[in-house]
């Protein structure tokens, strides 16, 4: 087996142990003579997977009995629409903190349903930072405050939740979900596409606080787009195999030591890479240091030609894959999610040092 060093921003690397377990169970699940992909979503086997995954999420995040968990489809992009559809009316205002490409897309969707106020935007500086609490200028009575906890394109991240003085947070947590502990009491909704930290593409995890869910519109929203349709039941056929994979990844996270373990693990990996970036001016971090993401490190080289040479040599000579920055910004991006091994980051850092010595 020749596993490369995979720095893909998503779909991203998965734990090898999880892939091997899925391989073992692929053609026959629990001596049933068929794959989990061939079983009804109403079967006892799948219902047990669904329940176990929700129990594991509840334990990892410390949700208690205060939240509903749903496995939906359509990615985080569907939640850009679904959240305001359920919670925002034309005479209400929601505050959207604008820190990148995905928060801007969420703002566009929310404007279809109600008023949107931006308490902060870093768009004019190329989304190179996230705000401090002192910079947030909220509207008078927002229904909720939306933020993107980690910005995969720019490479910025909120180190902690924005302070909203009790207004529920709605969070697109797609690219740092389960990478560190969070204060769940501050959230109305947490949603995340699974394909970065929790599983393969095709399932979206949505977690909603029950008292916030009680405020949702159930009269003017199509049935399948109502969050309440999906509480405590499986309304329509879910992405069965994807949820099965998520459940295996959650088991792996628990076995490793939970969110506190991964916070330390991810911070150590990021520190290795950023220390190399900051040694001199050959590599330049693309965002302000206080806003740097531990999930997606972005940096530039002195010229675009050198960047292309760097990317080519990284892949062809060192098996360092998918380091090209997002097409909208260019540069280099190393995505170091939970399943990215420390050895991969060490290999990248060693290559960076060697490349600098030969091209600096």
Last residue in a domain, options 207, 235, 256: 256
pLDDT of residue 233: 87
**Counting beta carbons within 10 angstroms of the beta carbon of residue 130, is it exposed (0 to 12), middle (13 to 18) or buried (19 or more)?**
buried
In a domain, 2, yes or no: no
Residue 360 is predicted with a pLDDT of 82
* Residue in 143, 180, 196, 269 annotated catalytic: 196
Is 123 labelled a binding residue? no
In terms of domains, do 84 and 214 share one? yes
Query: What's the number of domains the chain is made of?
Result: 2
**C-beta separation of 195 from 77 below 8 A:** no
Q: Are residues 40 and 153 in the same domain?
A: yes
From 202, 228, 256, give the residue that closes a domain: 256
Could you tell me if 111 and 242 lie in one domain? yes
252 is catalytic: no
Shared-domain flag, residues 224 and 268: no
- 187 located within any domain: yes
Q: Give the pLDDT confidence score for residue 333 in this predicted structure.
A: 98
Q: How many residues are there in the chain?
A: 360
| Structural domain includes residue 229 | yes
Q: Are residues 93 and 106 in the same domain?
A: yes
Residue 77 is assigned to a ligand binding site = yes
Residue 11 CA to its chain's centroid (Å): 11
Residues 317, 191 share a domain: no
Which of 222, 256, 290 lies at the terminal end of a domain, its last residue? 256
Task: Establish if 21 belongs to a structural domain.
Answer: yes
Helix, coil or strand: residue 208: strand
Quick count: other Cβ atoms within 10 Å of Cβ 215?
12
Cβ-based neighbours of 261, under 8 Å, separated by 6 or more: none
Predicted model pTM: 0.96
Residue 11 lies in a domain: no
**Enclosing H/E stretch for 205:** strand 204-209
140, 117 contact by CB (below 8 A): no
pLDDT under 50: residue ranges of the chain: none
Range of the domain at 74: 16-256
Residue 130 lies in a domain: yes
Which among 50, 95, 98, 102 is annotated as catalytic? 102
For residues 267 and 238, state if they share a domain: no
Q: Which of 95, 172, 180, 186 is catalytic?
A: 172
Whole-number Å distance between alpha carbons of 154 and 197: 18
Angle, alpha carbons 246-251-254 (nearest 5°):
125
Q: Is 176 a catalytic residue?
A: no
CATH of residue 301's domain is: 3.90.1150.10
154 with 262, same domain: the answer is: no
180 and 314 together in one domain: no
> How far are the Cα atoms of 115, 119, 143, 174, 211 from residue 107, in angstroms, in the given order?
10, 12, 14, 16, 24
102 is in an annotated binding site: yes
The answer to whether residues 204 and 311 belong to one domain is no
Instruction: List the CATH number of the domain containing 75.
Output: 3.40.640.10
> Per residue in 248-275, is it b (16+ CB within 10 Å) or e — as a string?
bbbbbbeeeeebeebeebbeebbebbbe
Q: Which pLDDT value is given to residue 191?
A: 98
The answer to whether 24 is a known catalytic residue is no
pLDDT in tens, 134-145: 999 999 999 999
191 and 91 within one domain: yes
pLDDT, tens digit, 9 for 90 and up, residues 17-40: 999 999 999 999 999 999 999 999
Q: What is the pLDDT of residue 232?
A: 80
Q: Let me know: does 297 contact 276? Beta carbons within 8 Å.
A: no
Is residue 55 located within the same domain as residue 142? Answer: yes
């Amino acid at each position: 087996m020749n596993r490369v060093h995979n720095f893909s921003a998503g779909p991203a690397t998965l734990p090898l142990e999880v892939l091997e377990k899925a391989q073992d169970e692929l053609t026959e699940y629990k001596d049933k003579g068929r794959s989990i992909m061939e079983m009804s979503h109403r079967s006892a086997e799948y219902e047990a997977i669904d329940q176990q995954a929700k129990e594991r999420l509840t334990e990892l995040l410390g949700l208690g009995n205060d939240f509903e968990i749903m496995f939906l489809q359509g990615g985080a992009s569907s939640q850009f629409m679904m959240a305001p559809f359920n919670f925002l009316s034309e005479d209400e205002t929601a505050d959207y903190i604008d820190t990148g490409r995905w928060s801007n897309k969420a703002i566009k969707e929310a404007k279809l349903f109600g008023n949107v106020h931006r308490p902060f935007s870093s768009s004019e500086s190329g989304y190179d930072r996230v705000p401090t609490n002192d910079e947030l200028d909220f509207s008078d009575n927002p229904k909720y405050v939306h933020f993107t906890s980690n910005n995969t394109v720019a490479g910025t991240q909120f180190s902690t939740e924005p302070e909203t003085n009790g207004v529920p947070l709605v969070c697109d947590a797609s690219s740092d979900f389960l990478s560190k502990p969070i204060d769940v009491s501050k959230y109305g909704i947490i949603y995340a596409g699974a394909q970065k930290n929790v599983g393969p593409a095709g399932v979206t995890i949505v977690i909603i606080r029950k008292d916030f869910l009680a405020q949702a519109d159930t009269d003017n929203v199509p049935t399948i787009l109502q969050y309440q349709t999906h509480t405590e039941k499986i309304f329509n056929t879910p992405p069965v195999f994807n949820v099965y994979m998520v459940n295996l990844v959650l088991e792996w996270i628990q076995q490793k030591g939970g969110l506190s373990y991964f916070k330390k693990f991810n911070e150590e990996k990021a520190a290795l890479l950023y220390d190399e970036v900051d040694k001199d001016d050959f590599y330049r971090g693309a965002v302000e240091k206080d806003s740097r993401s531990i999930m997606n490190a972005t940096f530039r080289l002195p010229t675009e030609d050198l960047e292309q040479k760097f990317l080519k040599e990284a892949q062809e000579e060192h098996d360092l894959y998918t380091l090209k920055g997002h097409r909208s910004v260019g540069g280099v991006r190393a995505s170091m999610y939970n399943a990215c091994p420390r050895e991969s980051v060490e290999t990248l850092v060693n290559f960076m040092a060697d490349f600098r010595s030969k091209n600096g």
